[in-house]
């Protein structure tokens, strides 16, 4: 991969190794796509300290050098505090990648003195188990090689897609970034409903979780669009049809999700303003 092959003094500098940053780092190290990265994290987890002691990463170095790739995996509310600390690591050729929801390229550009070699990526938490979805949006200073490198890096934790219009990133965040929470809520509701019909709590939860995971895997493997898969499991006049009649009433699941995603999109715009 061009630009992040490890030829420079700091091939990759990662700010933040929490849940998402940590998942990315572990995947990159496991597949060998980055070597000797520098990690900046004020409260490193024990596993990260172990990696540093074993020589796999360089932790919290204070003498900044210009990075080939700088990844910002911090919470959006901390971004303005982090940008001045990260700025010394950014040189003319540094590719800056942000995975923070709501942090716009304009905010990043201002924080880095007009630097526009920028890419925003919105991954989601299934990245922790290699089933993530990461959407890439490149700024005007990033070229096709840059986006190809970032797509290759993020494919270590799942699938990737690319959009050109940054204003759509709030919708991406609402649908995909926040989406796992919707699936978890569905699992909660299904399990509670099963318990209400007499199933033991643990059995109901296992059935709900396994059903959602299996259905998701069928779509992940491209066995068909969701509408077709839904129709395949729905026999006319059967139990599934009876359930779907309730779920597809108006207002039903589709209307509720449309409203939820619209509200999450609007909140994302507020965070970025």
For every residue of 71-113, DSSP letters joined together read: EE-S-GGGHHHHHHHHGGG--TTPEEEE--TT--HHHHHHHTT
pLDDT in tens, 111-161: 999 999 999 999 999 999 999 999 999 999 999 999 999 999 999 999 999
Rounded to the nearest 5°, which phi and psi values hold at 15? Answer: -95, 110
Core vs surface per residue 107-139: b (16+ CB within 10 A) or e: bbbebbeebebbbbbbbbbbbbeebbbbbbbbb
What is the distance between the alpha carbons of residues 60 and 85, in angstroms, rounded to a whole number?
A: 12
pLDDT in tens, 157-216: 999 999 999 999 999 999 999 999 999 999 999 999 999 999 999 999 999 999 999 999
- CATH class held by domain 179-271: mainly alpha
The predicted model scores a pTM of: 0.91
Q: What is the DSSP letter of 174?
A: I
- What the block records as the tokens of 184 is 């978890």
Tokens 């919290």 belong to: 60
Q: Per CATH, which fold does 10-166 belong to?
A: Rossmann fold (3.40.50)
For residue 39, give the H/E element and its range: strand 38-40
For the chain, what are the domain ranges? 10-166, 179-271
Helices 19-31 and 144-154: angle between axes, nearest 10 degrees: 90
pLDDT in tens, 51-95: 999 999 999 999 999 999 999 999 888 999 999 999 999 999 999
Contact at 8 Å (CB) between 68 and 237?
no
């Amino acid at each position: 991969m061009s630009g992040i092959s490890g030829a420079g003094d700091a091939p990759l500098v990662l700010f933040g190794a929490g849940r998402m940053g940590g998942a990315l780092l572990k995947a990159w190290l496991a597949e060998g796509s980055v070597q000797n990265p520098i990690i900046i994290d004020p409260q490193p987890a024990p596993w990260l300290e172990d990696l540093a002691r074993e020589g796999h990463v360089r932790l919290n170095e204070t003498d900044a050098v210009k990075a080939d790739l700088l990844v910002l995996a911090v919470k959006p509310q901390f971004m303005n505090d982090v940008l001045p600390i990260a700025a010394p690591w950014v040189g003319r050729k540094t590719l800056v990648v942000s995975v923070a929801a709501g942090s716009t390229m304009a905010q990043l550009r201002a924080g880095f003195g007009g630097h526009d070699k920028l890419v925003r990526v919105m991954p989601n938490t299934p990245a922790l188990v290699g089933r993530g979805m990461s959407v890439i949006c490149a700024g005007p200073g990033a070229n096709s090689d840059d986006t190809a490198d970032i797509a290759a890096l993020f494919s270590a934790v799942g699938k990737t897609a690319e959009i050109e219009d940054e204003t759509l990133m709030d919708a991406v965040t609402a649908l995909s970034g926040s989406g796992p929470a919707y699936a978890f809520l569905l699992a909660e509701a299904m399990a509670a409903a099963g318990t209400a019909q007499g199933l033991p709590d643990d059995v109901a939860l296992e059935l709900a979780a396994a059903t959602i995971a299996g259905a998701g895997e069928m779509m992940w493997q491209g066995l068909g669009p969701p509408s077709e898969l839904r129709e395949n499991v729905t026999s006319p006049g059967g139990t599934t049809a009876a359930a779907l009649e309730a779920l597809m009433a108006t207002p039903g699941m589709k209307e509720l999700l449309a409203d939820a995603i619209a509200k999450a999109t609007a909140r994302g715009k507020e965070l970025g303003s």
